[in-house]
């Protein structure tokens, strides 16, 4: 089983008690500088999945490891993290400030049925970090301060208002990167492309050595969508510039790199989970896209 940071373990690390607001899901907001004071200096944020969504306004030099990406943040950035993707960020200087909020799927979906998964900023295939200028930092800091103030208020509908603030953060991020908002279904072709991506992402993350991908080939996805495989390929090419096979292979490679980095599963177990009949087939597939074997990749990551 891959490592998952639960809400309970998060609050234990913080040295506080998990608030009891299960009836509306969970939401909280923190100051990064305060968190860094409360957590031991030797404590390093683990690279793993969280059982909650997180949006961070980061001020300071940091290195972010997100899925199979390593991203350098020089000054300011907005980071969106999903329970589907493991991540951490490592402070590279002492001047760290900003805010972050955490929330569960239930918090956002408990009113109006909105699921965080529908937003492109939380999709694993999208870029999770948006660099900011000074004016944007000022605007976002004000929004996080509103969250902090509202959370402490006795307003009867404060959680409804907090949901609106979270949605404002999400839309702010998507406006920073217009391509992340291109999933609006303007026509039937775009709708098919979106349904394919939804089917693909439903198979991830892989959390157990007993789990195996159900849909493996372009034909599997086309059959599930009740369309011809050639039509699916044409639709994806028109809407994304990628073929069905490119999409599937890219997502499998991303998950393979995550599992090699995050788990102690052997290559045979990872190969099985990702739908390969033979370990050799998986090794050849991995080497074709990454340029090295799975074992070599793991050894370099763990240096």
Question: What are the domain boundaries of the chain?
Answer: 4-181, 188-301
Alpha-carbon distance of 273 to 144, in angstroms, equals 40
Give the DSSP per-residue string, 46-73. -SBEESSEEEEEEES-EEEEETTEEEEE
Lowest-confidence pick of 23-32, 110-119, 201-210: 110-119
By the 8 A CB rule, do 98 and 57 touch? yes
Q: Are 273 and 206 in contact (CB under 8 A)?
A: yes
Spatial separation of the C-alpha atoms in residues 151 and 161, rounded to whole Å: 10
* 4-181: CATH superfamily: Regulatory protein AraC (2.60.120.280)
CA 207 – CA 212 distance, rounded (Å): 10
The CATH number of 188-301 is: 1.10.10.60
Tell whether the model's pLDDT for residue 113 goes beyond 70.
no
The model's confidence at residue 22, banded by pLDDT at 50, 70 and 90, is low
What are the pLDDT digits (tens) for 43-89? 567 778 889 999 999 999 999 888 777 889 999 999 999 988 888 88
Instruction: Please state the separation of Cα 205 from the chain's center in Å.
Output: 10
């Amino acid at each position: 089983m891959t490592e998952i940071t639960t809400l309970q373990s998060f609050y234990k690390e913080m040295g506080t008690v998990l608030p009891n607001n299960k009836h509306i899901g969970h939401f909280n907001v923190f100051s990064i500088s305060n968190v860094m004071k409360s957590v031991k200096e030797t404590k390093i944020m683990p690279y793993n999945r969280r059982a909650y969504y997180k949006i961070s306004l980061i001020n300071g030099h940091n290195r972010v490891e997100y899925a199979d990406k390593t991203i350098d943040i020089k000054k300011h950035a907005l980071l969106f993290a999903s329970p589907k993707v493991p991540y951490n960020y490592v402070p590279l200087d002492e001047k760290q400030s900003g805010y972050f909020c955490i929330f569960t799927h239930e918090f956002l979906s408990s009113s109006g049925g909105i699921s965080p998964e529908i937003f492109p900023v939380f999709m694993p295939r999208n870029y999770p970090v948006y660099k900011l200028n000074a004016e944007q930092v000022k605007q976002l800091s004000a929004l996080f301060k509103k969250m902090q103030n509202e959370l402490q208020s006795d307003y009867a509908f404060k959680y409804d208002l907090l949901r609106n603030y979270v949605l404002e953060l999400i839309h702010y991020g998507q406006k920073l990167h217009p391509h992340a908002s291109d999933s609006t279904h303007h026509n039937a072709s775009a709708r098919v492309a979106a349904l394919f991506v939804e089917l693909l992402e439903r198979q991830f993350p892989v959390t157990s050595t007993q789990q195996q991908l159900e849909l493996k080939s372009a034909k599997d996805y086309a059959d599930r969508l009740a369309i011809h495989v050639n039509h699916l390929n044409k639709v994806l090419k028109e809407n994304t510039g990628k073929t069905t096979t490119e999409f599937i292979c890219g997502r499998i490679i991303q998950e393979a790199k995550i599992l090699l980095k995050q788990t102690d599963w052997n290559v045979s177990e990872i190969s099985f989970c990702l739908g390969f009949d033979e370990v050799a087939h998986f090794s050849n597939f991995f080497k074709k896209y990454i340029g090295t074997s799975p074992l070599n990749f793991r050894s370099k990551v763990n240096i």
